[in-house]
Amino acid sequence: MPQVFREPVSIDALNALSRNTLIEHLGIVFTAAGEDWVSATMPVDARTRQPYGILHGGASVVLAETLGSSAGNLCVDTTQQVCVGLEINANHIRAQRGGTVTGTARAVHVGRSTHVWDIRIEDEAGKLVCTSRLTLAVVPAVRP
């Protein structure tokens, strides 16, 4: 897929936008981006584990939606439009007990009214932990 983002991605700006949100609370940090993808890491620790000591599926979904929604909003003029989650699914492939997982969102479809993003979450060895697909709706921006 050719370049989909409106301008070069600033990792610092993405991380700044995440301050004082669920993203920051879970320790999600944007780390890299390309022409049609963005990556972030998330620790597997007390904030993101379920009671049985493994990565909570909901935390994986938060990472996936964070990546896909952030990527989608890099494709639009956010003074006019924003991308919001319409549907997300996730398949949890492998249990993860510790360390850090890395998610990467890649564009599948970037249209005028919808986007589809594929998100892969991998462990530190590059083994698949979760795969997710996110559909975004492109809606008019409403400012307070």
Q: Tell me: the pLDDT tens digits for 32-80?
A: 999 999 999 999 999 999 999 999 999 999 999 999 999 999 999 999 9
The overall average pLDDT reported for the chain is 97
pLDDT band at 144 (very low <50, low <70, confident <90, very high): low
What mean pLDDT comes out for the span 100-117?
98
The percentage of residues in the chain with a pLDDT greater than 70, rounded to a whole number, is 98
User: Catalytic: which of 24, 65, 87, 122?
Assistant: 65
Burial of 23 (C-beta count, 10 Å sphere; 0-12/13-18/19+): buried
The pLDDT of residue 143 is above 90: no
Q: Give the pLDDT band of residue 1 (cuts 50, 70, 90).
A: low
Q: Above 90 in pLDDT, residue 95?
A: yes
Can you tell me whether residue 14 is helix, strand or coil?
A: helix
Whole-number Å distance between alpha carbons of 124 and 96: 10
Judge whether residue 140 has pLDDT over 70: yes
pLDDT, tens only, 119-133: 999 999 999 999 999
Q: For strand 37-43 and strand 29-33, is the pairing parallel, antiparallel, or unpaired?
A: antiparallel
CB 133 within 8 A of CB 115: no
Express as a percent the part of the chain with pLDDT over 90: 96
Strand duo 114-122 + 29-33: pairing = unpaired
Q: Is 65 a catalytic residue?
A: yes
Tell whether the model's pLDDT for residue 3 goes beyond 90: no
